[in-house]
Structure 1
């Protein structure tokens, strides 16, 4: 069996019983279960949710997204071997520790397979919760161009590229397009200030203004927990994106939770400690792949300029990347997952068949 066969490239065509269209994102696909299957699983498995709560099966793929495009490799490699299992394993590890330390729960109720989560439907907060400990990436590019205010926070002059910031910065942006919010442009992924969120907390889907404080606290606590664990592994937690939402438990209590993924190479920058002390930035995250793409193509502006999106999409569609690029990325993802969790990432020989088997035999969700 070839490596391409072990890659979970397509994850929206599984015969999972559902009455709604499958929602397929860049990396994950979501199958909403029907009311009868949701109620049955809640009763059988004892999930801490209301008896009529909507549940979903979330299946991760090995697809690789960068610069808002999906990339592929030579020889029919439409993903990165082990990437999906690595991302899920890392998120599972952090979500479990957040819960153990009394921070907050997540949307995950069950983990039937390394590529699969059973989740409770959440009401998402419409914020990309971003925390930065170092000045790099887009923030550095804006700073180098003379910008000093970020999300209502003013930075001093004289900072150097990749320097540790004086304090952890929270620089949120919008998740989705918000219409009719004064001072907030109606475009996706636009920077917002704490003042914007406080003034219009309901527009961002917060239940109360106090929950704005709560989300910031959970973001800081989550960042600090991950940063401390990575420091034990001689890794540096540079910056990250969290997402939050609301769910209701069995007792009818609404609670703010972590959702999507946390502390992964897709949602965070992680630098290697030994290389950093040697004066080099060695990425243990997707940022390394972005840098490879910028060096691989002769006109990197296509990847950085949003006005050239049609050209960018054509690059991704028409160019198969060298196999070694994807294999090096595989080593990055599986390597950092094994460091964090202490367990190997095992590649499935036929991921779709495995998922169908476990969801059919143990959960009766196939057909």
Structure 2
């Protein structure tokens, strides 16, 4: 599914994000359809990835169910493989990025000689993909358009983006969710390297929203071979969409002005789809079943699910 165009009873708003189409129902519910669109460097790429939306939505549903004892989540129903119905929360304008290893953006920052990221000091003497002594939180602003930006804990509180009390709670939830995610990954022979969480609030209650521990929001390494690869300086085998970013960078695209997205061949598209399915099966231990639903059937099923809430 590239995009949706539903009309629901009681619909009050519609928002099209980079990957998700979000419908507001009344003032308390949201319908989120996870498309097969893919973004990198905050740019939506021109071709969709088959079954990517289903993978993301189903992984998120499993992970949210497995962590609801840590923090309440927004989910009320998942009527379709790529659709979630949940609570409408007042969203905090930051994303809580947590990192267990020196990888990706953190490594790109580190190798320039910088040792401070989002107000957090990274220790000397680390190699790419090494574990940090303990996980670090490196938040970003949450941009509806354009690029998310690194920001420190102190600046978030000083600017009033999140109150000190709420931010301290977000930190506690973030570290607890990450610890649970690492435990679940370890059971499947994986290392949860880094991820991000988004939170919202209804009244005095904080909820984790959107997706968690998916290949779009997270990075996984295979545990087998990790130590040997670190000793020999080899790249880690990973499950995430970082390989898409690497492919884009190799072909001269980082989302900067004047740069063109390289041609996405059928072969490349299929390889990305296979990687998403591989992650689903590895992290969940379940066989992925491809499901295709027409827009008309999807709309009818969502409307029926809304009636039950």
Above 0.5 in TM-score?
yes
Q: Does the residue aligned with 2:243 lie in a helix, a strand or coil?
A: helix
| Bigger-Rg structure (1/2) | 1
1:60-209 pair list within 5 angstroms: 60-72=34-46, 78-99=47-68, 102-176=69-143, 189-200=148-159, 203-206=160-163, 209=164
1:33-52 pair list within 5 angstroms: 33=25, 35=26
Question: Which consecutive residues of structure 1, in runs of 5 or more, have no partner in the other structure?
Answer: 1-7, 36-52, 73-77, 178-186, 249-253
Q: Does the residue aligned with 2:132 lie in a helix, a strand or coil?
A: strand
State the partner residue of 2:169.
214
Q: How much does 1:333 deviate? A: 1.3
State the partner residue of 1:311.
259
Matched, 1:282 2:237: yes
TM-score by length of 2: 0.89
Greater relative contact order, per chain length (Cα 8 Å cut-off, separation 6+): 1
Change (3 A) 1:170 1:360: closer
* Correspondent of 1:342 among 268, 274, 285: 285
Q: Does the residue aligned with 2:200 lie in a helix, a strand or coil?
A: strand
RMSD: 2.2
1:196-345 pair list within 5 angstroms: 196-200=155-159, 203-206=160-163, 209-248=164-203, 254-279=204-229, 280-295=235-250, 297=251, 300=252, 303-304=253-254, 308-312=256-260, 315=261, 319=263, 321-345=264-288
Give me the whole-angstrom Cα distance separating, in 2, the residues matched to 1:105 and 1:157: 37
Change (3 A) 1:259 1:170: same
Give me the whole-angstrom Cα distance separating, in 2, the residues matched to 1:80 and 1:142: 29
Question: Which consecutive residues of structure 2, in runs of 5 or more, have no partner in the other structure?
Answer: 230-234
Could you give the per-residue CA deviations for residues 182-202 of structure 1, whole angstroms, max 9, x where no partner exists?
xxxxx95332222223434xx
Give me the whole-angstrom Cα distance separating, in 1, the residues matched to 2:302 and 2:112: 52
How many residues align structurally? 302
* Correspondent of 2:19 among 17, 24, 27: 27
State the partner residue of 1:4.
none
Give me the whole-angstrom Cα distance separating, in 2, the residues matched to 1:288 and 1:275: 18
User: Higher helix share goes to which structure?
Assistant: 1
